[in-house]
Structure 1
Amino acid sequence: MVPPTLSRIDYAVLGGLALLSVALLFWVTGNAPLAAGFLAGLAIAVGGVVLARRLFPVPAAGEASLPDWTMLRAAVNHDDVAIAVTDRAGRLVCANDLFATWFGGFITPPGLPVDGRGAELLKNAGRAAWRDGEGRVDDLAVGPLQLRAQVTRTGQAEDYLVWRFAALERLDLVSEIVRHLDGPAGRTLGQAGVMAALVSAEGRLRVANQAFLLRALGEGDVSHYAGRDVAPMLRLDDGGSLYFAREGDRATPVRMLQIPLAPADSHTPMLLAMLDEEMGPTDRGTAQGYVETLLSLLPFGLAMVDRDGRFLYMNRAFLRAAGLAEGKMLRYPGDLVVGEDKGPLADMIRRHSSGQQVGGDLSIRLAGQGDEPVSMRVVGVRGLGEAAVLLSLKDSSEESRLKRQVAQASKMQAVGQLAGGVAHDFNNILTAVLGACDLMLMRHTPGDSDYDDIQQIRSNANRAASLTRQLLAFSRQQTLRPQILQLPDVISEVSHLLKRLIGDTVKLSVHHGRGLGAVRADPGQLEQVIINLAVNARDAMPGGGTLTIETYPVSAAEARQMGSEIMPPADYSALKVSDTGTGIAPDVLPKIFEPFFTTKDVGKGTGLGLSTVYGIIKQSAGFIFADSKPGQGTSFTIYLPVHRAEGDAPVVAAPPPKPKKSQWGTGTILLVEDEDMVRAVAERALVRAGYTVVTASQGEEGLERFGQMDKVDLIVSDVVMPTMDGPAMVRAMRAKRPALPVLFMSGYAEEQLRQSIDIDDVAFLPKPFSVAQLTEAVSAALDEAAHRVSDAG
């Protein structure tokens, strides 16, 4: 705080006190020189204080040292990058002028006026930046403006986010040609005798160089030419020669080259290049050289072929699209394609080299580039000397790669949805089987003739439930119970089991690095990952070998140096499982994480092991990579993000498991389940546990039963049901009784369901479940509801 300023009255009071002190000292001692010296000392002290206050004034309140945001805003002003800074409280600290221009003012990210899901993507990027240090959004739209966003955590205490928005540059071929033809490139072509024009799909002029305009329109009519129809500017005589119409009968014939800007698309502009017909052989070769120069500047693949079907010229884009090395020249177009396509291509070139100036498309397969077809445009041309046919080939390698990725992603998504649906239906069946077994075991004791058979049925049902968990893990729909844990602890828990699984011929070697960060994952699922990888390694070493498990930290800088396109730079804890086995062939390696893919003999593998591993790791926000060479073993490396506690609080261990609830109780339960067998088993189990149970087969019937009941202590309902699902039914019930306890049960994942169910204070029981698990869950839900009521009271 700043000390208050002393007024004149305050100074007078202090002066009076000082004189009183001097008089008191003189009265006590009777020594006048001593009193005078004391008075002089007080005067000197007061004068020093006043002088110090004037030389070093204390800043007023609100003048404390703060960052100069105006200077920061001037520093971040940028011509082509919009920048904003927000603090941890989500407040806008600073932004440059371009940010306000693009977004209509100084609006706080991520709530910007962007199109589509842009605001949600920005919000996720901001969360990723707080968590990992950096977040990105590669495709944002603000009206016609396309943007890329990068969010970076910064500051000495890492309490700020810097939001950078940059415009995406997209190649507009037509705009580029307009710019070049209307500039120095158009004048250079005109000086070489090449008349060039860009014509729209409707046959109207978009732009032309000066040489074309002077020949077609004359010197006095070239100022407003855009939009004019090109057809009246040209004429054909009876012999098929082409002329400029305004030059009359004494005109010089011209040869025209038509260059489509998009193969097989009649709705795009076309580039026209014209040369004078009356030339000697030397001039004609020079003109063709100019045309080749023009073709070399175009960004799509073009080649010229003579009347005998031989290549005359290929530009770089054509070489690149055909997969040929720079400077390599083939003799015939048939050398580009596979054997089956040589005949059709040669026939098409022969027809167009001797016929009219028309074009056609042909689907071909390039030699050495697999069976992926590409489109080739074949156009007959005149007026280019030896050239009779123009070939255009689009470089579709990137497009084909993206198509394959999209097809693979779609296939994986479809298979994942199928697996999740199958697992859900199978879980209903297993719930009924396990519940029936539990009810039968209550009536039989060990030693009965049927006891062992029932236990065998129950054991096989649990094995089937394990298979459904694998299907859900592959489809990333399983219910995880994540905890804060250390990877060495997980490996220690499972190492004794690994030694039995891999056998005596395989040596287990475990190494742990220092400085490992804690991760957030389900320990049981991580153990399943390690076991699956260890079993695969054992099978790859039939003659014995070494299985090595390593853990080590990976810093954000090291992750950035890896250059991975899918793994963002952040701090990770890595788990590496390596073997000295036979390795994986290069053509098999990209497929190993696909579902139901296996190289094992029939009956020795389901093909779900590695796909399950992949699903668990991805659902835990991690990444997994495989590295293998035939004969040199295989390594699987798992990267799990280091868990950062809120406010840098110390990481604590998972809470101890809650004590089991009683399997007996009282109360009235409304049970809503569309599967008859599940409903029957659950009703019998709950009635046996002491509850009064009213059942319904779907949501609308459940609402009707609810309206007829005087007292309902708990709703036990399936989530997915026909006509009216469980959440819709519960919302209608809670509109009448807001504190109504609810226990949902489903074969789908809890995380997936909670994202779509916006209902508070509901419990969840995953299928399949046993009778004991059902009664314990009911008891826990009733106890939790009672605690909420007592806390509210």
Structure 2
Amino acid sequence: MATIPARQNASMLPLFAAVLAGFAAGALILVTLGERAIAVGFVSMGLVAAGAAFALRRRSAAVAQDAPATDWAVAHALAQASDDALAVTDRAGRLICANNRYEALFAGFPTPPGLPVSESAVAALGDAGRAAWRDGEGRCDGVQVFGASVSARVRRVGEDTLVWRFIGVQALDLAAQVQALIAGHTGDRMGAAGIMTVLVSPEGRIRSANRVFRLRAMGNAESLIEGRDFARFLVTDSLGLVHFEREGIEGTPLRVLQIPFLDGEDAPMLVALLDEEADTVPTPAIGASATAHVRSLISLLPAGMALVDRDGRFVHMNDAFVRGARINAAAPPLYPIDLVVREDKGALADAVRRFATGSPQSAEMTVRFVDAPEEPVAITIAGARGLGEAAVLISLKDSGEESKLKRQVAQATKMQAVGQLAGGVAHDFNNILTAIIGHCDLMLMRHSPGDSDYDDIQQIRANSNRAASLTRQLLAFSRQQTLRPQVLQLPDVISEVSNLLRRLLGETVTLEVHHGRNLGPVRADPGQLEQVVVNLAVNARDAMLAANPSGGGVLTIETMSVPASEVRAMDEDVLPVGDYTALRISDTGTGIPPEVLPKIFEPFFTTKEVGKGTGLGLSTVYGIIKQSGGFIFAESEPGKGAAFTIYLPVHAAAEETTAAKGPLPVKEKPADLWGTGTVLIVEDEDMVRAIAERALSRQGYTVLTAENGEAALELLEAAERPDLLVSDVVMPVMDGPSMARKVRARYPDLPILFMSGYAEEQLRKSIDLENVSFLPKPFSVQQLAEAVRDVLNAE
């Protein structure tokens, strides 16, 4: 028991000093001056001072006796009687006293909160102490001390002390005692009686084992076994009997007994293993023939079924159950709870125990297997009678195509909802980016290269363009981007992007391109199709370099013709029968894991480390292909790379269309963008409206502005006819198309330029008017001036 002793001061030096000083002064005056009266006076003063000092001393001693010191012996006795570890600290944070359990728990007398625990636990204890000083009480749960969870309670006593109480120490003491007993002579005596004992941690690791278990499990009684996985030393045979893995299934069967000597999920488990007696080992020949017939019948059924005995162990399972539960036939599980995730173990164990005791009903429940935790599986549990040692029947509910269809509908609904969200987010970002890019353009007009601010403005503009590219990816995923489809040949697209690919792939990755014959033309946006090829190629490069950083790999791009007869033979539900031109991109990487393959096209899903992937690459590819009327499929075998095949429908009227239209004319940009005329700008976003007004005013136009459709109509009532109407599409109160129709009723030939952060295809029905142009956001000052000039020059 650590305590602080009381201080005592019984010195009489002040009293003697006063008397001595009086006599010394009197003697000095008598010798030097010869005045006897003055000398007597100084001696008297010394005596008076001595008497006063003595009285003051007596009074202080009386006061000290009235204030008795704290009896820490009583506190020590009370603390020693507690099962918890106790400590007391003062206002200065010093340790005043602590009991023996505290010393044993922390290997000494450290002062809380500075205990030998983790940094987070020290911080939590410090918070609990401050809460106790402030509120009178504080607490901190889950403090890990030498592998055990301890709870701390802090209470303020009086005004100057804190009492620290650590609860759960007795479990730590008991676990340590059991661990020492197993490893010592007690474990040897149990081994001599044929009992193998093991102390297993909550994680399934061995904390201690007696010598006979070490000998049977590892072949050497002195082998180091602490920290090893307990389950690794055991195997089960087809009858569900447990054997040592080292002895094989021909070895002596074992009976496994679990002894939960401590409460709580985080408490260690004591396991005892006994050799089964020969006459208690079940064999297929023992029991009525009906049991064997039932097992044979269960084995033939297509539904997954398993029999469980009264102890909760598997007795028999058919092949369908093994496949449905994803069981490793070489090492089958011992208990049903071994198949499911930790969160479902308790409910499944309770259900098996309930039906094993005689419940005649059946029940359905949903569990998640360890090998597929994201796919819930419905099972049926029922009591079994007349089947020998079997007491419970567990069957997998096979919903087949119904479950598959439900998952597909749920996935499609989720993707559609995320797509709508992505489109709305992209629209709002486009408005913000329009203002940022526009302000950058206006500032660049006032600065020339070499100015101190020129490079900073260029950097802001470059990052804004990167953000605009990200919004285009969101729109591509949600199939709401603006496409410019053309009739083209896939080899031409691959040829255009090949040089870029070789630079992106690097020297360690080889690019191989193979084109098929009789390829039909397709109708798609060449720029977006190039983005598809680049995204797939970059993903393949990263996969190959991750598998082999020095050797790289081979990226193969193939084009091929897929006639309707081949599509019909494929019998693919998703791909309609028709003629297609296919594009296949494959690599020699490690492939895509089966559990990841169904999720690769989901937005924001990535297997790359944090900070190295947005999860939009493949979802963007998916959105572009689907918006182009095509289909994309991914296939992969672990260790053999991955392949993506894109099917684009052949454009039947391509030859006539291209012959009639001929090559697209190339527009030549004029030397300047100056113009004249009146332009009415209708935009509900203040920042975008301000940028558009300043940009067109600088080009020589007279600009009128309105914040919504109704304000624009009121302005036109008082103003003259404008030369051009520039309007946002989506606005509150009255949207752009509704306002434009009212304006056209008054000015039928007025040209209109719509601008929007949404895609043109998404707004096509609402802006279906004659003599209408479209400018997607975000746009620069120059792009806005060019669009206005082109519309006015077309008149």
TMscore range, shorter length = 0.5 to 0.7
Give the residue type in structure 2 aligned to 1:664: W
**Superimposed CA distance per residue, residues 410-436 of structure 1 (whole angstroms, 9 cap, x where no aligned partner):** 332232222222221111111112211
Per the TM alignment, residue 625 of structure 1 is displaced from its structure 2 partner at its CA by 1.9
Instruction: Note if 1:623 corresponds to 2:653.
Output: no
Letter in 2 for 1:602: V
Alignment of 1:655 onto 2:667:
no
- Alpha-carbon spacing, 1:365–1:764, altered in 2? closer, same or farther (3 Å): closer
Residue pair 2:310, 2:353 contacting (<8 A) in 1 also: no
Equivalent residue number for residue 596 of structure 2? 588
Report deviation, 1:394: 4.8
Distance 1:729 1:656, change over 3 A: same
Match of 1:673 among 664, 683, 687: 683
1:512 deviates by 1.7
**Aligned equivalents of 1:365 and 1:631: distance in 2?**
27
**Partner residue of 1:447?**
450
Distance 1:763 1:317 in 2: 62
Secondary structure at the aligned position of 1:674 is classed as coil
After TM superposition, the structure 1 = structure 2 runs for residues 342-357 of structure 1, keeping only pairs within 5 Å, are 342-349=348-355, 353=359
Q: Residues 87-486 of structure 1 correspond to what in structure 2 (within 5 A)?
A: 339-349=345-355, 353=359, 362-363=365-366, 372-373=375-376, 394-486=397-489
Q: Which residue of 1 aligns with 2:568?
A: 560
Contact 1:334 1:346 (8 Å CA) reproduced: no
Larger Rg: 2
SS at match of 2:764: helix
1:694 to 1:358, Cα distance in 2 relative to 1, 3 A? same
Match of 2:214 in 1: none
Aligned residues of 2:518 and 2:561 also touching (Cα < 8 A): yes
User: Does structure 1 residue 715 correspond to structure 2 residue 725?
Assistant: yes
Aligned-pair CA distance for 1:316? 13
Q: Is the 8 A contact 2:481 2:758 kept in 1?
A: yes
Q: Counterpart of 1:755 in 2: which secondary structure?
A: coil
Contact 1:375/1:394, CA 8 A, preserved across alignment: yes
Q: CA deviation at 1:319?
A: 12
CA distance, structure 2, for counterparts of residue 548 and residue 322 of structure 1: 38
Instruction: Report the equivalent of 1:497.
Output: 500
Q: 1:301, 1:614 → 2: CA distance?
A: 37
**Cα distance 1:319–1:692, how it changes in 2: closer, same or farther (>3 A)?**
same
1:725 aligns with 2:728: no
Residue pair 2:487, 2:658 contacting (<8 A) in 1 also: no
Match of 1:537 in 2: 540
Residue in structure 1 matching 2:706, options 668, 685, 696: 696
Q: Secondary structure at the match of 1:728?
A: helix
Instruction: Sort the Cα spacing of 1:648 and 1:710 in 2 relative to 1 into closer, same or farther, 3 A.
Output: closer
- Residue 614 of structure 2 aligns with which residue? 606
- Calculate the TM-score normalised by the size of structure 1: 0.54
Structure 1, residues 350-386: CA drift from partner, whole Å, max 9, x if none? 6874xxx98766555679875655666779999xxx9
Report the 3-state secondary structure (helix = DSSP H, G, I; strand = E; otherwise coil) of the residue aligned with 2:468: helix
Alignment of structure 1 residues 64-79 onto 2, 5 Å: none
1:397 is displaced (CA, Å) by 4.2
Matched with 1:574 is: 582
Q: Structure 1 residue aligned with 2:647, among 633, 639, 644?
A: 639
Cα deviation digits, residues 246-293 of structure 1 (max 9, x gap): xxxxxxxxxxxxxxxxxxxxxxxxxxxxxxxxxxxxxxx9xxxxxxxx
**Residue of structure 2 in register with 1:292 after alignment:** none
Unaligned runs of 5+ in 2: 1-287, 289-297, 328-332
Partners of 1:352 and 1:379 within 8 A in 2: no
Residue 745 of structure 1 is matched in structure 2 by 755
Distance 1:299 1:620, change over 3 A: same
Structure 2: distance between partners of 1:394 and 1:322: 11
| Structure 2 CA distance for partners of 1:757 and 1:575, relative to 1, 3 Å | same
Contact residue 360 and residue 379 of structure 1 kept, 8 A: yes
CA distance in 1, matches of 2:702, 2:634: 55
Q: CA deviation at 1:713?
A: 1.9
- Give unpaired runs (5+ residues) of structure 1: 1-284, 286-294, 325-329, 787-793
Q: Partner amino acid for 2:605?
A: F
Structure 1 vs Structure 2 CA RMSD: 4.5
Q: What is the identity, as a one-letter code, of the residue corresponding to 1:537? A: A
Bigger Cα displacement from structure 2, 393-402 vs 525-534: 393-402
1:706-747 superposed Cα distances (whole Å, 9 cap, x missing partner):
222221222111111222221222223223333332111011
Measure, in 2, the Cα distance between the counterparts of 1:602 and 1:307. 48
Distance 1:545 1:321 in 2: 37
* Residue 779 of structure 2 is aligned to residue 769 of structure 1: yes
The CA deviation at 1:702 is: 1.9
User: Are the structure 2 counterparts of residues 487 and 332 from structure 1 closer, same or farther at C-alpha, using a change threshold of 3 Å?
Assistant: closer
TM-score normalised to the size of structure 2?
0.54
Q: By how many angstroms is 1:691 displaced?
A: 1.5
- The residue identity in structure 2 corresponding to 1:494 is V
Distance in 2 (CA, whole Å) between partners of 1:685 and 1:741 is 19
Residues 549 and 337 from structure 1, CA distance in 2 versus in 1: closer, same or farther, beyond 3 angstroms?
Answer: closer
CA distance in 2, matches of 1:431, 1:663: 19
Could you tell me which amino acid in structure 1 is paired with residue 669 of structure 2? Answer: K
8 Å contact kept, 1:321–1:396 = no
Which residue of 1 is the match for residue 767 of structure 2? 757
Partner residue in 1 for 2:155: none
Deviation at 1:300, TM superposition (A): 11
2:746 counterpart SS class: coil
Q: Deviations over 1:215-245 (max 9, x none)?
A: xxxxxxxxxxxxxxxxxxxxxxxxxxxxxxx
Change in CA separation of 1:670 and 1:507 when aligned onto 2, cut-off 3 Å: same
SS state at 2:409 partner: helix
| Deviation per residue, 1:49-79 (Å, 9 max, x gap) | xxxxxxxxxxxxxxxxxxxxxxxxxxxxxxx
Identical pairs, percent = 67
Distance 1:736-1:352 versus aligned 2 partners, 3 A rule? farther
Structure 1 position 492, deviation (Å): 1.6
Q: Which amino acid aligns with 1:477?
A: Q
What does residue range 504-543 of structure 1 map to in structure 2 within 5 Å? 504-539=507-542, 540-541=544-545, 542-543=549-550
Cα separation, 2, equivalents of 1:316 and 1:446: 75
One-letter amino acid matched to 1:737: Y
| Cα distance change of structure 1 residues 722 and 628 upon mapping to structure 2, 3 Å threshold | same
SS at match of 1:457: helix
- Once residues 307 and 591 of structure 1 are traced to their aligned partners in structure 2, the CA distance between those partners, rounded to angstroms, is 41
Structure 1 residues 513 and 392 mapped into 2: Cα distance closer, same or farther (>3 Å)?
closer
Rounded to whole Å, the distance in 2 between the matches of 1:442 and 1:312 is 83
Quickly say closer, same or farther: Cα 1:372–1:657, change in 2 above 3 A.
same
SS of residue paired to 1:764:
strand
Q: Is the 8 A contact 1:334 1:345 kept in 2?
A: no
SS class of match (1:625) = strand
Task: Say if 1:320 and 1:395, in contact at 8 Å, map to a contact too.
Answer: no
Q: Distance in 1 between matches of 2:622 and 2:715?
A: 45
Distance in 2 of aligned mates of 1:380 and 1:630: 42
Residues in 2 aligned to 1:735 and 1:306: alpha-carbon distance in whole angstroms: 84
C-alpha distance in structure 2 between counterparts of 1:686 and 1:512, whole Å: 49
Measure how far apart 1:348 and its partner are: 4.6
In structure 2, relative to structure 1, the CA distance for the partners of 1:621 and 1:306 (3 Å cut) is same
Could you give the per-residue CA deviations for residues 657-711 of structure 1, whole angstroms, max 9, x where no partner exists? 3333662222222111111111101001111112111111122222222222221
